[in-house]
Amino acid sequence: MDIHETEEQQVEALKKWWKENSSSIITGILLGLAVLFGTKTWFSYQETQAGNASNIYTGMMAALDKGEEAVVTGRAGILIADYPGTPYATLAALALARVKLEQGELTAAHAQLQWALDNTGSDVVRQTVRLRLARVMIGEDNLDGAEALLGETPPDAAFEPLYAELRGDIQLARGNANTARVQYEQALAGLQPAAPGYRLVKLKVDNIQPAEDSGAPQ
């Protein structure tokens, strides 16, 4: 009888516990399923978005190679507006900036590069964009802005020669030939002779004759 009564008590206790907790348990299960399927749906959506953006980007680059500027502009606009969270949007902004530069529209190119700088999640892309934007700012005669942009964050070692070259361009535009030469020599020291741009930097160094300079070597 004692055993039977114990079993009866256990059953009654289980029934009581279930009655009191069944709602929260079922709710928890439903929430868990919602999260599970919601997560799967989200990843599926993200994959679809990435696939669509990739297709648009591929078409945009093909148009860029063909010189179809209107197509490039249209597809780049779609990527930036509809897929801003993908890397393709940043690359589209860079492509659009290139088109605008070729059209001589410095202000428009500046805007696209600034968007890319503000929205990219890649340090490598960010450093590349700074270089391009600084060149545009030099073209806009905004030398102080270009110099400040290059000085925002120390570049990786691979980018330092490119940054040094641009700092030299800024100093040369200011009329500080000797200071520019120091920067060009620094850039040259960081480049291999076979590297792209080596001959151009060497030419910049060779074309600067020692002269009175209003700036001090940096």
Model pLDDT for residues 57-114, shown as the tens digit of each residue: 889 889 888 989 999 899 999 999 998 888 889 999 999 999 999 999 999 999 999 9
- 163 SS3 class: helix
* Cα torsion angle, 154, 156, 160, 162, sign: negative
Extract the tokens encoding 204.
Answer: 């910049």
- The secondary structure of residue 12, as a DSSP letter, is H
158 Cβ contact partners less than 8 Å away, ≥ 6 residues apart:
none
pLDDT reported for residue 164: 96
* Cα torsion angle, 146, 147, 151, 154, sign: positive
- CA–CA separation, 197 and 187 (whole Å): 10
Burial of 40 (C-beta count, 10 Å sphere; 0-12/13-18/19+): exposed
Helix axes 2-66, 69-82, angle to 10 degrees: 160
Is pLDDT larger for residue 50 or for residue 81? 81
* Nearest alpha carbon to residue 115 among 138, 97, 128: 97
- CA–CA separation, 161 and 192 (whole Å): 10
Q: pLDDT by residue (tens digit) across 157-201?
A: 999 999 999 999 999 999 999 999 999 999 999 999 998 899 999
Q: Percent of the chain at pLDDT above 70?
A: 73
DSSP 34-90: HHHHHHHHHHHHHHHHHHHHHHHHHHHHHHHHHT-HHHHHHHHHHHHHH-TTSHHHH
On the question of pLDDT at 216 being above 80, the answer is no
- 100 SS3 class: helix
Q: pLDDT by residue (tens digit) across 103-160?
A: 999 999 999 999 999 999 889 999 999 999 999 999 999 999 999 999 988 899 999 9
pLDDT reported for residue 209: 75
Task: Place 42 in a pLDDT band, splitting at 50, 70 and 90.
Answer: very low
- CA–CA separation, 202 and 218 (whole Å): 19
The whole-chain average pLDDT of the chain stands at 83
pTM greater than the 0.85 cutoff = no
- CA–CA separation, 187 and 184 (whole Å): 5
On the question of pLDDT at 207 being above 50, the answer is yes
